[in-house]
Amino acid sequence: MTDKRGYAAGDLDMTLQMGGLRCADGSYLTVLPRACVDSVGVPYEITLELRRDGAPYGMVGERCGWLLPRLAAGMRAARADGDGAWADPDDRFPEDAPDAELFAFRYRSRRRVVGGGELRCQVRTLPLWTPADAPAAIGRWRLTRRAVVEAWGHDGVGLRAVLTSGELAEFIAGLVVEAEGCLGMAQSGSGIRNGGTDRPPGR
């Protein structure tokens, strides 16, 4: 069964695994933070490597380490906010507007040529069928909010995963931890969650 946006019921049954996402087509998208290094080999920022079923898929988000902890903090705050319109924490996201884009990481070469991969996330309001929980009861449709994570590789093939707020928060938090490990900050207490690379790119 497919809704008016083209989402089949099975698309909502995503499996979240450490470091990546099980996508709607059954493939596994791995997102690996990789350190950007300066001329003497010292790591100073983060790029994200994408892999599909273990094979290279793309490189995106050059110098995105400063943004990851902001995304993680925004997800925590949104899920903890019980005063909004969404009673279920798994429906709560930082942006309240329909079809809001939470992030978009792209590949950009030194010549500013776009290509080689993309990873983006939009919040969408979707109808979800809830089966009856008793023989005499009637099932019903209810509105939910979900994060639609889409990725494209250098070959132009796209992947999609649909996540709850909790699943997306866990995924982003995992990226923050891995990014800190790449930068050698996890033990020093100066990680990107505490401002180690807490600056916009290019500064």
pLDDT tens-digit series, residues 55-89: 999 999 988 999 999 999 999 999 999 887 889 99
Q: How far apart are CA 1 and CA 8, in angstroms?
A: 5
Which pTM does this prediction carry?
A: 0.78
The widest CA-to-CA distance across the chain, in whole angstroms, is: 71
198 within domain boundaries: no
- Closest Cα to residue 10, out of 164, 169, 162? 162
3-state secondary structure of 138: coil
Identify the domain containing residue 108 by its residue range: 9-187
Q: Domain total for the chain?
A: 1
Q: Which residue has the higher pLDDT, 47 or 6?
A: 47
194 within domain boundaries: no
* Percent of the chain as helix, strand, coil, to the nearest 5: 20, 40, 40
Q: How far apart are CA 73 and CA 92, in angstroms?
A: 13
33 within domain boundaries: yes
Helix (H) or strand (E) holding 139: none
For residues 125-143, average pLDDT: 83
- The pLDDT score that the predictor gives to residue 148 is 95
pLDDT tens digits, residue range 19-41? 689 999 999 999 999 999 889 98
How are beta strands 101-108 and 158-163 bridged, if at all? unpaired
